[in-house]
Structure 1
Amino acid sequence: MSDENNDLDQQALADEWAAALEEQTGSASGGVSDDADAGAKAVDLDELRDESVPIGDPKLDVILDIPVRMTMEVGGTEIPIRNLLQLSQGSVIELNRVAGEPLDVKINGTLIAHGEVVVVNDRYGIRLTDVISPQERIRRLK
């Protein structure tokens, strides 16, 4: 009995899809109507590059609450797995950065600024010393 109900549900679903497809192809066979294009809107790509758009702009409200991962990179190094396995408490690893050199501030792995470590109320922070321009960020992606 359940197979019969499942077949009926499948048939009903197939009928709905067929009706929707017929509506779509019916309007396409008669030519594309102006009503169909009424919902479509041309987008000017220069609009997306405009840096003077204020933060309160409704166009940006959609993305303002998307979380991103911000990291501060002190430096890095490459070591063989053999040396990695020999590390213990108190081991010192030399990084590829000179002491006093600014840290890299990255958003989702993309460099956006340089900064220096500060301590405020017993918490670490970072003071931005140089922000990478959007044009430079795009150039670095290529």
Structure 2
Amino acid sequence: MSDTKQQAPQAAGAEFPEIEGDGAAVFDAAPQAEAPKGGRNIEAMLNVGLDVQIVLGHAKMPIAQLLKLGRGSVIELDKRIGEPVDVMINDRLVARGDLVKLGENRIGVSLTDIVKDYVSEE
């Protein structure tokens, strides 16, 4: 049996806790939230990032037409100017709203309708 110690490989870009002189890892204390009676701890999920998309409209076209697109090409969408846009979270429709101007060069969405199927009924 050999007395040589092998070091475990480290993942590229991984962050590791600081190690004290005696080899003990030091972690910042995580805030303790009491779990609700149902056993679900919603507090742990409040900072999870979700992919939110604002959909102006859709278009279908054959591949041949798609391959002909270039700079300056116009794609006609299935919605008219002034119709509400769709607010999607993780590819699921959750709300609709109107486009609004924010400041000089930004746009946003003013929510006008929350999709009933998305809201959980408690």
TM-score, with structure 2 as normaliser: 0.62
The 5-angstrom pairing of residues 1-142 of structure 1 reads 44=38, 59-122=41-104, 123-133=106-116, 136-137=117-118
1:113-134 Cα distance to aligned partner (Å, 9 max, x none): 001111111211110011113x
Q: Which amino acid is the alignment partner of residue 129 of structure 1? A: T
Equivalent pairs, count: 85
Gaps of 5+ in 1: 6-42, 49-58
Runs of 4+ off more than 4 Å: none
Structure with a larger share of its residues in strand: 2
SS of residue in 2 equivalent to 1:67: coil
SS of residue in 2 equivalent to 1:99: coil
- Supply the distance in 1 between the matched residues of 2:82 and 2:99 (Cα, whole angstroms): 10
**Aligned counterpart, 2:11:** none
1:33-86 Cα distance to aligned partner (Å, 9 max, x none): xxxxxxxxxx75xx87xxxxxxxxxx2211001000001000011111100110
SS of residue in 2 equivalent to 1:84: helix
SS of residue in 2 equivalent to 1:124: strand
Gaps of 5+ in 2: 5-36
% identity of equivalent residues? 36
CA RMSD of aligned residues (A): 2.2
**Aligned counterpart, 1:54:** none
